[in-house]
Amino acid sequence: MGLIARAIEQIGIPTVSISITKDLTEAVGIPRAIFVKWPLGHPLGERGHAVQQKTMIFDALCLLREAEEAGIIREPGYRWRRETYAEPDFTQLR
Amino acid sequence: MSEKRTWLERLANRFFAIPTVAQLWAKRTAGRTEGLVDLSGGIPFARLTKPLHECKVALLTTGGVHLPEQPPFDMDNPDGDATYRAIPTDTPPERITITHKYYDHSDADADLNVIFPLDHFRSLVQTGVLGSLASHHFGFMGHIEGEQVTILNERTAPEVAAKLRADGVDFAFLTPA
């Protein structure tokens, strides 16, 4: 995934990625990523958990807007299945 | 064409579903990327130049998504499959299928948003947070090694990047398997 992000960024299109494998993401050199220590196959979280999934998208959009340099991997530290999420306020991004 | 798993692969899927195990696997794989990836030029970086509500967005995932009428990803090549499938933006999520035997996608099968959040991005466009969606999104299969990494770097990834540019995409959102 990191290699695809690099190819897209290379031609001038910004990217933001979710990472669940930090070492690999760092080794590949991804332009921007939100890292969560979650099981493979669940980059946005649990099935049926829309608020959690939207929180990941919200965090990714924030990073996309705020990143000033390449290679930032932000770690919100959400625990797998033990976190309480609030509905993200997307109007903040307007 | 099937992604029929051996008992060992099924066991591996369950094992890799444990977050700590996934991290250990990533560490090991990271140690082997040397030579396969040319990182000498640093990390490419393009700045977002528009407000989000004016942006056209494309979704990409290496979770193995494709349409049922498209050829499934190659599960027989041990190096994986570096090709991609274009998903038209108006595709109903329930039509999208997953071929990828290297992770347990039962949760993604039940709720595609877990890996390919087309529904959420549609709502973000409807509520005016984002401008629009790209005409096509792209499904890849992660878990590639050896010559498939070369194919991705030299052919398929630049090809998709060019398609995004031709479509006028302002940023891409990527998710792994």
Q: Please say whether the beta carbons of A81 and B18 come within 8 A.
A: no
User: Cα distance from A17 to chain B (closest Cα, Å)?
Assistant: 4
Q: B171 and A16: CB-CB below 8 Å? A: yes
| Strand segments (E) across B22-127 | 56-61, 65-66, 84-88, 97-98
pLDDT band at B2 (very low <50, low <70, confident <90, very high): low
d(CA A52, CA B88): 26
| Strand segments (E) across chain B | 56-61, 65-66, 84-88, 97-98, 132-133, 136-140, 171-175
β-pairing, B56-61 with A72-74?
A: unpaired
- What the block records as the tokens of B129 is 């947070």
pLDDT band at B33 (very low <50, low <70, confident <90, very high): low
CA-to-CA dists, residue B94 to A19, A83, B61, B135, angstroms: 25, 28, 16, 18
Q: Which residue has the higher pLDDT, A93 or B32?
A: A93
B149 alpha-carbon distance from chain centroid: 14
Q: B176 and A69: CB-CB below 8 Å? A: no
Residue B6 clears pLDDT 50, i.e. is over it: yes
Q: Which of A57, A87, A62, A81 is nearest to A72 (CA)?
A: A62
Q: B171 and A94: CB-CB below 8 Å? A: no
Q: A42 and B142: CB-CB below 8 Å? A: no
- What the block records as the tokens of B104 is 């347990």
CA-to-CA dists, residue A22 to A80, B28, B143, angstroms: 15, 11, 15
Q: B30 and A26: CB-CB below 8 Å? A: yes
SS3 content of chain A, % helix, strand, coil (to 5): 40, 15, 50
pLDDT tens digits, residue range A60-86?
999 999 999 999 999 999 999 999 999
pLDDT tens digits, residue range B53-88?
999 999 999 999 999 999 999 999 999 999 999 999
Q: Please say whether the beta carbons of A22 and B23 come within 8 A.
A: yes
Q: Which of A47, A65, A69 sits opposite B48 (nearest CB)?
A: A65
Q: Best mutation site among B114, B119, B145 for testing chain A: the one with the most A CBs within 10 Å? A: B114
CA atoms within 13 A of residue B13's CA, in its CB half-sphere: 19
pLDDT tens digits, residue range B79-123?
999 999 999 999 999 999 999 988 999 999 999 999 999 999 999
Contacts of A43 in chain B (CB under 8 A): 63, 114-115, 175-176
Contacts of B60 in chain A (CB under 8 A): 1, 4, 8
Contacts of A4 in chain B (CB under 8 A): 60, 62, 140, 152, 157, 160-161, 174
pLDDT band at B24 (very low <50, low <70, confident <90, very high): confident
Q: How many CB pairs under 8 A join A and B?
A: 210
Phi, psi of B102 (to 5 degrees): -95, 5
Q: A47 and B110: CB-CB below 8 Å? A: yes
Q: Which of B23, B31, B171 sits opposite A13 (nearest CB)?
A: B171
Which residue in chain B has the smallest CA separation from A89?
Answer: B129
Q: Please say whether the beta carbons of B67 and B60 come within 8 A.
A: no
User: Cα distance from A19 to chain B (closest Cα, Å)?
Assistant: 7
Q: Which residues pair with A32 in a beta bridge?
A: A72
Q: What averages of pLDDT result for each successive group of 10 residues across chain A (94 residues)?
A: 96 98 91 96 97 98 97 97 97 91
